[in-house]
DNA sequence: CTGAAAGCGCTAACAG
DNA sequence: CTGTTAGCGCTTTCAG
């Protein structure tokens, strides 16, 4: 392996001059600099990133701590991070194994958490005595962080408002909400939906809520909504959920319970697509018999027809903002404790205009 | 930050004893070891991964160099890698930005390449004078590596054979192949298909090949089959392709050209799903009017009904094997230059039994 | 402008 | 069994 020392010898200078030449820091005679760079190039020299990191106490790597790789929402988010990091000469590293302990073995300068639940878990365990800067992507879900963590937040209340407004604009009055969790779960979508529909439904709102309970799930090892009873009670859930499968189940429940809603807001696009499929199998046509609106704006919308109408959350933008905030922190800049990320309705063909 | 030195002082020993105690290497009095571990724990000490890496010349990180994140095939492959790496106490790092230059800034012990094309690109550029161990996932595509690189290979000829056999077993005689590339492209699927169908079609084989040419692609920036004319001529292509969109186009071409095949083998599942969608839009029913078989066994098969029949490639297994081979190399073991990865037909409902 | 020297936090001989 | 010592490859004062 060729080191700075070797370059220095061949160029007839000392290592420190080479260092300065390579980093454009401090003084070095123009003539010499040129020669050094030439020698380095000829030798195929390239600085050793680990040594550099040790000395500078900067690895130039950021971790996106996310296990839920099969969820394209997070993949999109990661793409946004990669791009933002690249612009500031950082590398975005992805860790697919959800193992908090191992986080301390990672050579990183900071961590981005995918949601409130994971953030809280982290802060309550390893994060207690590991004080690397942390940023959380968040969605307005109730969570109590034991330490101040800047969040880049998507305003889910507004998302729900957009969805409901779109349905109402198309003449829908009786709307249902389909979720992968029981009613009692403190999910911001459910809370927002309830507050928006309260004046219409009053206390009959539960009749228009389709939730998947653990007991109802088929015996599929992938479908594991809750790991511990404790988690279930606290309304927490862990990732790697089969939203599509749960969506199918939700459509089934919707049909069985003969809910008289004309439109459904689904937890997310994956969930909505699952509903679509099952509706189709049950002979219920979207949007003729039932209108459907998803949340995410994911590219998976394309798989089914009619194309799903959805509230786009632009996870790439959220991801990019997470990175920028984190890097600002590392540079010692003051950062906002909460910053927002844009949303927008993406029209498809799954909402019918009622006369 | 708490270091080994600090722990040593509090425990009244020297740093080397602490080192030995923590790594279970060399001798250290049982009593002392216990005390040291206690002190370390109380201080919340955790070894500095960068310093360790510098000294041991082992970062315990492996890179999966893959930009095509939206392709679930590679995501599955990555999952397999993560698991295999975890078992051997390694961390699998994912780099989503296709920038060969930046690879040298990554703190890694080895690299896994997603396919032959990327491997070759790498070897011809940065890989020239950066000799980190490399493993390539491969598919029997023609490629000339300028350096010996162990490959974990999926036998695409056998894959094609399985697909064709399944269709024939269901009574299909006239089979077509649908690909995202022109006929001249040296893709192993096309070559295998040609050799399998030669005796049936002779030189009419081109009539049963549906290929997407660059000129036929709609003006979608994402749809960029070839970056350079040079690449196109050499039959190379770069990732991030919209296989779904091209599949739609292929179905269109199939219908327009009134090909009299009763079944189609599609490039991959994504491509097949695109075909499904367009066929549906054109009023051509799968499998009633046309049978369809995909390649991959991807989870996206679930999105559409009928469920796609596909040849499963089990990318997780391929990924896991890549990692194991790479780690064996790092441990100085002798590794096979080419190793295989299993395949299997996954039955769905997209192939009709002909009378 | 340059080079010697002192580390970054950790490991691994090697005497004691 | 233990401590001293010499690095891993790089950066950064700080005298010259």
pLDDT digits (tens, 9 = 90+) for A185-217: 999 999 999 999 999 998 899 999 999 987 666
Residues with Cβ within 8 Å of residue A323, at least 6 apart in sequence = A62, A80, A81, A84, A85, A88, A90, A92, A112
Nearest nucleotide to the CA of A2, by C1', is D9
Which residues on chain A place their C-beta less than 8 Å from a C-beta of chain B? 44, 46, 49-51, 53-54, 59-61, 69-70, 72, 75, 78-79, 82-83, 86, 91-97, 99, 102, 104-107, 129-130, 244, 273, 277, 280-281, 299-300, 302-305
Q: Which of residues 159-188 of A touch strand C (CB under 7 A)?
A: none
For strand D, which residues in window 20-39 of chain B come within 7 Å by CB?
20, 26-30, 32
How would residue A69 be classed by pLDDT, with cut points 50, 70 and 90?
Answer: confident
CA separation, residue B37 to residues B7, B9, B29, B46, B68 (Å): 9, 13, 12, 11, 44
pLDDT band at A142 (very low <50, low <70, confident <90, very high): confident
- In the three-class reduction of DSSP (H, G, I as helix; E, B as strand; rest coil), residue A179 is classed as strand
Place of tokens 């039994």: B353
Name the CA radius of gyration of chain A, rounded.
Answer: 25
Report residue B187 CA to chain centroid gap.
16
Predicted pLDDT of residue B216: 66
Report residue A106 CA to chain centroid gap: 20
Q: Are B312 and B343 in contact (CB under 8 A)?
A: yes
CA distance A268 to A291: 15
Between residues B233 and B184, the one the model is more confident about: B184
Whether B44 and B69 have beta carbons less than 8 Å apart is answered as no
Closest CB to A59: pick one of B107, B130, B304: B107
> Tokens for A34?
């040129």
Average of pLDDT values for B292-317?
Answer: 95
Out of B75, B102, B299, the one facing A91 most closely (by C-beta) is: B102
Q: Is the pLDDT of residue A29 over 90?
A: no
Domain residue spans of chain A: 4-56, 61-155+316-342, 156-313
Is the per-residue pLDDT at B138 higher than 60? yes
Q: Which has more confidence, A61 or B129?
A: A61
Q: Which residue has the tokens 């997780």?
A: B316
Q: Is the CB of A55 under 7 A from strand C?
A: yes
- A180 vs A272: CA distance, rounded Å: 11
Beta-carbon pairs below 8 A across chains A and B: 113
Distance between the alpha carbon (CA) of B25 and the C1' atom of D3, Å = 16
Q: Is the pLDDT of residue A7 over 80?
A: yes
**Residue A302 with chain B: CB contacts under 8 Å:** 244, 277
Could you say which architecture CATH assigns to the domain A61-155+316-342?
3-Layer(aba) Sandwich (3.40)
Pair A117, A143: CB distance under 8 Å: yes
Please identify which residue in the block is written with the tokens 């020993």: B13
* Residue % of chain A over a pLDDT of 70: 92
Q: Is the CB of A289 under 7 A from strand C?
A: no
CB atoms within 10 A of CB B219: 5
Q: What gap in Å lies between CA B121 and CA A250, rounded to an integer?
A: 47
Q: Is the CB of A50 under 7 A from strand C?
A: no
CATH 3.30.70.1380 fits A156-313, yes or no: no
With CA of B33 and C1' of each nucleotide, the nearest comes out as: D1
Mean pLDDT of A286-302: 96
Which class does domain A4-56 fall in? mainly alpha
| pLDDT tens per residue, range B327-343 | 999 999 999 999 999 99
Average pLDDT, chain A: 90
% of chain A beyond a pLDDT of 90: 80
Q: Is the CB of A285 under 7 A from strand D?
A: no
pLDDT band at B237 (very low <50, low <70, confident <90, very high): very low
At A1, the pLDDT band (50, 70, 90 cuts) reads confident
Query: Strand locations in B91-189, DSSP E?
Result: 91-95, 110-113, 134-138, 151-153, 175-179
What mean pLDDT is predicted for residues A316-341? 96
Whether the per-residue pLDDT at A221 is higher than 70: the answer is: no
- The pLDDT value recorded for residue B235 is 32
Q: Say whether B61-155+316-342 and B4-56 share the same fold.
A: no
* pLDDT mean over A315-332: 97
Quick check: B146 pLDDT over 70? yes
Kindly state the DSSP code that residue B300 receives in the 8-state scheme. Answer: G
Q: Which residue of A has its CA nearest to B45?
A: A129
Identify the band that residue A233 occupies on the pLDDT scale cut at 50, 70 and 90.
very low
DSSP single-letter state for residue B112: E
What is the gyration radius of the CA atoms in chain B, in angstroms?
A: 25
Query: Per-residue pLDDT for B9 more than 60?
Result: yes
Task: Give chain B's mean pLDDT.
Answer: 90
- pTM value is 0.90
Query: pLDDT tens digits, residue range B43-63?
Result: 999 999 999 999 999 999 999
């Amino acid at each position: 392996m060729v080191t700075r020392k070797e370059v220095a010898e061949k160029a007839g200078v000392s290592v420190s001059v080479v260092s300065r030449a390579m980093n454009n820091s401090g003084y070095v005679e123009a003539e010499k600099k040129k020669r050094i760079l030439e020698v380095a190039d000829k030798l195929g020299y390239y600085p050793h990133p680990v040594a550099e990191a040790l000395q500078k106490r900067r690895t130039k790597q950021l971790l996106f701590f996310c296990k839920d790789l099969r969820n394209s929402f997070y993949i999109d988010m990661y793409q946004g991070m990669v791009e933002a990091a690249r612009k500031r000469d950082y590398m975005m590293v992805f860790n697919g194994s959800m193992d908090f302990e191992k986080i301390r073995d990672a050579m990183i300068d900071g961590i981005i958490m995918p949601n409130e639940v994971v953030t809280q878990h982290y802060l309550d365990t390893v994060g207690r005595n590991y004080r690397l800067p942390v940023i959380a992507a968040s969605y307005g879900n109730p969570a109590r962080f034991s330490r101040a963590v800047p969040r880049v937040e998507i305003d889910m209340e507004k998302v729900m408002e957009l969805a409901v407004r779109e349905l109402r604009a198309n003449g829908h009055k009786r709307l249902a909400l389909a979720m992968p969790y029981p009613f009692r779960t403190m999910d911001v979508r459910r809370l927002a939906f309830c507050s928006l529909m309260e004046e219409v439904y009053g206390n009959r709102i539960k009749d228009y809520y389709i939730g998947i309970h653990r007991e109802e799930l088929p015996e599929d090892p992938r479908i594991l909504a809750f790991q511990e009873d404790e988690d279930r009670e606290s309304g927490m859930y862990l990732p790697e959920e089969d939203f599509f499968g749960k969506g199918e189940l939700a459509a089934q429940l919707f049909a069985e319970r003969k809910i008289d809603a004309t439109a459904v807001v689904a937890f997310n696009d994956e969930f909505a697509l699952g509903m679509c499929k099952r509706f189709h199998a049950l002979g219920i046509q979207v949007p003729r018999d039932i209108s459907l609106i998803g949340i995410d704006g994911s590219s998976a919308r394309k798989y089914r027809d009619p194309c799903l109408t959805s509230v786009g959350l632009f996870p790439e933008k959220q991801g990019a903002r997470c990175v920028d905030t984190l890097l600002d922190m590392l540079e010692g800049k003051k950062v906002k404790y909460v910053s927002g990320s844009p949303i927008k309705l993406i029209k498809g063909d799954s909402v019918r205009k009622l006369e």
